[in-house]
Amino acid sequence: MSGNPQRKYRADYAVPAYLIDTADLDFDIRDDHTAVRAVYGVRRNPESADTQQWRLDGRDMRFVSVAIDDRELSENEYRLTDDALVVDNPPERFTLTVENVIDPEHNLSLEGFYRSGDILCSQCEANGFSRITYFPDRPDVMARYTTRISADAKTFPVLLANGNCVDSGELDGGRHYAVFEDPFAKPCYLFAIVAGDLGVIQDSYTTTSGREVDLRLYTEHGNEDQCHHAMASLKQAMAWDEDTYGLEYDLDSYVTVAVGSFNMGAMENKGLNVFNTACIFARADTATDSDFALVRDVVAHEYFHNYTGNRVTCRDWFQLSLKEGLTVYREHQFAIDQGSPGVTRIRQVRTMREIQFPEDGGPRAHPVRPESYVEMNNFYTITVYEKGAEVIRMIAQMAGREAFLAAVRHYLDKHDGQAVTIEDFVVAMEESTGLDLEQFRRWYAQAGTPRVRVETAFDNGELALTLSQHTPATPGQNEKAEFDIPVEIALFDANGAPVREPEVLRLNTAEKTWTFDGFDAEPTVSALRGFTAPVRLEYDQSDAALARLMAHDSDPVCRWDAAQALYLKTLVADVGARCDGQAPVKAPDLLFDAIETLLDNPPADRELLAEMLTLPSEAMIGEQFEAIDVFAIDAARSALKQAIATRFAVRFEALAGEHAAQGAYVFNVAEAGRRRVLALALDYLAAIDAPGIVERAAALYDAADNMTDRMAALEALRDRSDPARDRVLDDFAATWADYPLVMDKWLRLQAMTRRDDSIERVRELLADSRFDFTNPNRIRALLGGFARGNRPGFHRTDGAGYALIADEILRLDALNPQLAAALAGILAPWRRHVAAQANGMYAALERLGAAELSDNTREIVDAGLERSGEAA
């Protein structure tokens, strides 16, 4: 907590005054504390002029002593503050020894060294290392680490740190020790240490050049059989990175530890990843198809960081997208190569539109490379990650596949072992590909989603296509210069046959016109194919043209998007009418005809069929309006769903029958697609209370051998007041009582239930013994599930939803500021809502603003209250 949080600026970067070549750490783990002794080999940085004093960051620990070259310093030779140890006039080259004591048992922030269940583990990125010992907690100070751990052998039989185990043995008093050496210099955010009584599964991987890598995955005993999919995914990722980028793993072992209490998904510590169990555990009966895909992709993502992030790291945290944007892009490529490329891309596009665009249009909008921050952990955003990946994707597209892969290798060779900037990356791309990225760099510097307008005129066999761009102002950035925007288009005739091959148009001015000729009739334009740029397309296409694209477009993204655009037309008109107190607007016949055509000629990829039949989310509908009315959106979406379900009830019955399970669960594209269609059909049938739907869903629940089908059944029953619903929910709770991650599904499902008393039910669950306020997965399931997944409940007109979230943010902020700040982000975009909702959200924010808050939550609340003025 601090009354006046410090804002850091990218422009203020200064090289470190001193460099640390070696860091020898000793952790003496005791019941009620851990004693840390750190010995650093230090030298003055020849590039720094600042040599008067040397600052080492350190927080929430007890300082014991500091010595230079074995001489303990007296109190007038150093200064201690709340967050630093400052040594005056250090010599040119010296050994610094610092001793301190930490308390992992009482560290609920889940940052630094802390306890998760029976495991002691660490989380250092972004600035957690300064909760472990005194050190310049910045990524451009890279050292070679040796770590010695000693602990009670019974309680902590497994001891782990980065690198190779070079020594281990027994000590007096039932204790033991292990020493690890990491041969690669690394920033302190990649440091990791683990101690616990752990189960393990083991495997090995032989790299192309013949290095045998020992693969180990640790978890609390009893969970080993939930880890095999993660292990298989790791080996897939290792092979993929060799085949695609020619990158081989560089250590003898790759160790992963799965812990139940973790603030995010996973952490790519060198050679010793720490994962949230939610991103490792996947067994057919406990995890859904989406969970299987998530595990696969997160495991791959962390593995890919070994090069993009670890071997070449960030100079400072403003450069975060250097590693995250690039690694997400690599993860996206990997996911696309695992099958169903079209649907995988559609999911990526949906994430951008439903989550990143709102961030870009709200009070927390910031460039992919932010200019300032108060708390770095608030900037692990969808913009830095996903928009950052889209920016890389545009470069890859401009370069072409092989040239891009070669450019990434050039970047990694050129900067191996260094801490660099986004600018260094862009220069390496230019050097290798020959592209001129001068204007393109604006994608890193300017926040906000560009709007690209498409206008066409057809005359005398000639189509004139005009693209224009405009980017709305974002906090701190009123004027936007033009972006360099690649827009892929293709043209189709009235029968849906292609009349012009796909081509990429480069819109790099405010407006540009292209002409295409030689047509007998006006062609249909398919624009932004594959989502070639992270922009909002404004194109008033006719219903007939959209129906044509929906039936024939060869690009799955545009085909799906045409369906979405058709749904949105009706939804937007209906929401508008409801807001104006007019009669609801019904869907046109053409929409039903288009759906019929789709059902008659479904795409071979069942997941694509399911995506195309899924209505735009509430978030996506909200994006179409200046002021979001949650209730009108909910009503319009339900009405359209019911209209479609009524019209096609027979077809949905048939789909459900045809897509029922034939054999035991397998996770692959075809089977996951089949299950998606089954779930979708049940969802439509449930929307109209189709005869027998309750029995059908309950029977599916009872018969299912897997969690995907079981969840589909539960979701179909979720909003009903029916004994069958309560029966399966109780059965679920009884069956999975010992599986906290499965119980998260139970919590989330109830939080998302659309009932008048959903807030009261969430309050009850907060007090339930199956909920745990100190565990982030439980919080995300119950409170995140409610505030994000139950909009009508959260925005209930009496304001009780806002009050509940504000209460819990205040309670949580005292324990886990990172998580509290993330929850506060839900209230920040109040301006996007209609007055009644906006006022309620604002009042909750004001209440938070008046309280004593962590810097993390303060930064988010101030942005929401528009008090920071520095969001860019």
Residues in touch with ligand B3K (CB under 6 A): 125-126, 264, 266-268, 301-302, 305, 324, 377, 380
Q: Report the residue number, 327 or 340, with the smaller CB distance to ligand B3K.
A: 327
Q: Report the residue number, 310 or 327, with the smaller CB distance to Zn ion.
A: 327
Whole-angstrom Cα distance, residue 168 to residue 148? 9
**Residue 132, binding choice from Zn ion, ligand B3K, none, Cβ under 5 to 8 Å by partner class:** none
Q: Report the residue number, 269 or 471, with the smaller CB distance to ligand B3K.
A: 269
- Are 817 and 855 in contact by the 8 Å Cβ rule? The answer is yes
CA angle, residues 389, 391, 393, in degrees to nearest 5: 70
Could you tell me which of 782, 841, 770 has the C-alpha nearest to residue 808? 782
Give least dist CB 3 to ligand B3K, A: 24
- Residue 437 CA, chain-centre distance (Å), reads 27
Whole-angstrom Cα distance, residue 555 to residue 250? 39
Using DSSP's 3-state secondary structure scheme, residue 412 falls into helix
- Are 141 and 19 in contact by the 8 Å Cβ rule? The answer is yes
Respond yes or no: is residue 72 known to be catalytic.
no
Give least dist CB 305 to Zn ion, A: 6
Give least dist CB 327 to Zn ion, A: 5
Whole-angstrom Cα distance, residue 629 to residue 554? 35
Beta pairing partners, 200 = 218
Whole-angstrom Cα distance, residue 818 to residue 825? 11
DSSP secondary structure of 468-500:
EEE---BTTB---PPP-EEEEEEEE-TTS-EEE
Q: Report the residue number, 182 or 324, with the smaller CB distance to Zn ion.
A: 324
- Find the helix or strand (DSSP H, E) in which 501 lies: strand 498-507
DSSP secondary structure of 556-573:
HHHHHHHHHHHHHHHHHH
**Residue 297, binding choice from ligand B3K, Zn ion, none, Cβ under 5 to 8 Å by partner class:** none
Q: Report the residue number, 310 or 446, with the smaller CB distance to ligand B3K.
A: 310
Could you tell me which of 743, 752, 794 has the C-alpha nearest to residue 771? 743
Angle (deg, nearest 10), helices 723-735 and 693-703: 10
Whole-angstrom Cα distance, residue 547 to residue 798? 42
**Residue 321, binding choice from ligand B3K, Zn ion, none, Cβ under 5 to 8 Å by partner class:** none
Whole-angstrom Cα distance, residue 676 to residue 681? 9
Using DSSP's 3-state secondary structure scheme, residue 639 falls into helix
Q: Report the residue number, 276 or 327, with the smaller CB distance to Zn ion.
A: 327
Give least dist CB 51 to Zn ion, A: 35
Q: Report the residue number, 61 or 298, with the smaller CB distance to ligand B3K.
A: 298
Whole-angstrom Cα distance, residue 528 to residue 234? 33
- Provide Rg for the chain, Cα atoms: 28
Give least dist CB 193 to ligand B3K, A: 17
Q: What are phi and psi of 249, to 5 degrees?
A: -65, 150
Q: Report the residue number, 377 or 541, with the smaller CB distance to ligand B3K.
A: 377
Give least dist CB 105 to ligand B3K, A: 22
Whole-angstrom Cα distance, residue 455 to residue 636? 29
**Residue 683, binding choice from Zn ion, ligand B3K, none, Cβ under 5 to 8 Å by partner class:** none
Q: Report the residue number, 370 or 448, with the smaller CB distance to ligand B3K.
A: 370
Beta pairing partners, 170 = 176
Give least dist CB 387 to Zn ion, A: 14
- Are 505 and 525 in contact by the 8 Å Cβ rule? The answer is no
The pairing of strands 84-88 and 93-102 is unpaired
What lies within 8 Å, CB to CB, of 641 at 6+ separation is: 615, 684, 687
Catalytic residue among 99, 302, 324, 331: 302
Q: Report the residue number, 94 or 303, with the smaller CB distance to ligand B3K.
A: 303
Judged by phi (left if over 0) then psi (alpha if -120 to 50, else beta), residue 501 lies in beta
Q: How many residues are there in the chain?
A: 872
Whole-angstrom Cα distance, residue 507 to residue 270? 41
Q: Report the residue number, 302 or 488, with the smaller CB distance to Zn ion.
A: 302
Whole-angstrom Cα distance, residue 870 to residue 406? 38
The token pair that represents 132 in the structure block: 């472990």
Question: In three state form, how does the secondary structure of 409-435 look?
Answer: HHHHHHCCCCEECHHHHHHHHHHHHCC
Give least dist CB 264 to ligand B3K, A: 5
- Find the helix or strand (DSSP H, E) in which 848 lies: helix 835-849
Q: Report the residue number, 219 or 327, with the smaller CB distance to Zn ion.
A: 327
Q: Report the residue number, 301 or 748, with the smaller CB distance to ligand B3K.
A: 301
Give least dist CB 320 to ligand B3K, A: 9
Whole-angstrom Cα distance, residue 664 to residue 833? 46
> What single-letter amino acid sits at 707?
M
> What single-letter amino acid sits at 485?
I
Give least dist CB 279 to ligand B3K, A: 10
**Residue 377, binding choice from ligand B3K, Zn ion, none, Cβ under 5 to 8 Å by partner class:** ligand B3K
The residue assigned the tokens 């995010």 is 264
Could you tell me which of 661, 641, 667 has the C-alpha nearest to residue 652? 641
Give least dist CB 858 to ligand B3K, A: 17
Q: Could you tell me how many residues of this chain bind Zn ion (CB under 5 A)?
A: 2
- Using CA atoms, how far residue 116 sits from 162, 274, 277, in Å, is 19, 11, 11
Give least dist CB 549 to ligand B3K, A: 36
**Residue 728, binding choice from Zn ion, ligand B3K, none, Cβ under 5 to 8 Å by partner class:** none
- Residue 11 CA, chain-centre distance (Å), reads 27
**Residue 630, binding choice from ligand B3K, Zn ion, none, Cβ under 5 to 8 Å by partner class:** none
Site for Zn ion in 310-339 (CB under 5 A): 324, 327
Whole-angstrom Cα distance, residue 309 to residue 424? 14
Give least dist CB 309 to Zn ion, A: 7
Whole-angstrom Cα distance, residue 668 to residue 236? 14
Task: Cite the active site residues.
Answer: 302
> Which residues here bind Zn ion, judged by CB under 5 A?
324, 327
